[in-house]
Amino acid sequence: MNRTIAVHGVVFALVALFVGACTKSEDKKPAPAATKAAAAGGKDIFPPAYFDFMLKQRTAAGQPDTPELRQAIRDELNTRELVVREAKKQGLDKSLKTEMDLTAQTVLVRSYVTDYAKAHPISDAQLHAEYDKIKASMGDKEYKVRHILVENESDAKDIITQLQKGEKFEKLAERSKDTGSKANGGDLDWNSPSNFVKPFADAMVATPKGKFTTTPVQTQFGWHVIEVDDIREAKIPSFDQVKPQLEQRMQAQVVDQYLKDLRAKNGY
């Protein structure tokens, strides 16, 4: 019961091969035969903007701007263009139109969302406020607990009776319907109360170390018998440790809210 806490195709397969070949070590100079085959009469047959974009992309990834890199990009773009022309002769641009349109749409959407996120950054004040909120919800204690989850209250009461008679919790856990923990004797490991639904968390916190609940605990998952094996001070990571993940999550929430508002505004 652990709680849950967001193109393929012939042309693109060929292009992937060329990309892989052209992004290897620059120590390997492009084969002259490939260069001559790719360019018509030694002239480039691709739009210059393609070259500028790809050069910017490669250098941004850390590759030095060298004559070898520029030649490798020209070879790749010329070869791409030749393959595209052959593909169009076979009508692939028509049969793959929907797929290609969706791919172009994906690029446009990703770029727009990225720009929106940059225009709506999360401030340090917001990050600190969210960190403090999460920290408070976690509490100052962590609990190492086991549980047995059954379908009805009577089964839970029967388990409690057997525990009171000295039966081992691990043995009775074989009756649990929580397949994720039953194999480990019902062990849920260390958790803060915030990791569980409220009825479970409340019962766990109220149970002394080394004891089990003497009345069944009901949640939306069924009926639980809970045993608290140990309690310790909570190990909460510092703000600096979790800041990157927290910023990413909050930024995603901002974008998600924008998309919800956009759909609502347009009747979706």
Tens digit of each residue's pLDDT (9 = 90 or more) over 85-98:
999 999 999 999 99
Residue 235: per-residue pLDDT:
85
pTM, rounded to two decimals? 0.58
Kindly list the distances between the CA atom of residue 138 and the CA atoms of 39, 46, 141, 196, 218, in Å, as whole numbers in the listed order: 63, 58, 8, 10, 22
Kindly list the distances between the CA atom of residue 174 and the CA atoms of 30, 179, 222, in Å, as whole numbers in the listed order: 64, 9, 16
Residue ranges of domains in the chain: 10-117, 139-233
Distance CA 59, CA 41 (A): 28
- What percent of the chain lies above the pLDDT cut of 70? 84
Nearest 5°: phi and psi at 150? -130, 170
Q: What is the pLDDT of residues 189-211, one digit of tens each?
A: 999 999 999 999 999 999 999 99
Distance CA 23, CA 251 (A): 32
Q: What is the pLDDT of residues 14-56, one digit of tens each?
A: 333 333 443 443 444 444 444 444 444 568 999 999 999 999 9
> Predicted confidence band at 139 (pLDDT cuts at 50, 70, 90)?
confident
> Which residue has better confidence, 68 or 9?
68
Distance CA 148, CA 183 (A): 11
Kindly list the distances between the CA atom of residue 225 and the CA atoms of 110, 151, 218, in Å, as whole numbers in the listed order: 47, 12, 9
Q: Which CATH class is domain 139-233?
A: alpha beta
Taking residue 78's Cβ as centre, other Cβ atoms within 10 Å add up to: 21
Residue 236: per-residue pLDDT:
86
DSSP reduced 3-state for 219:
strand
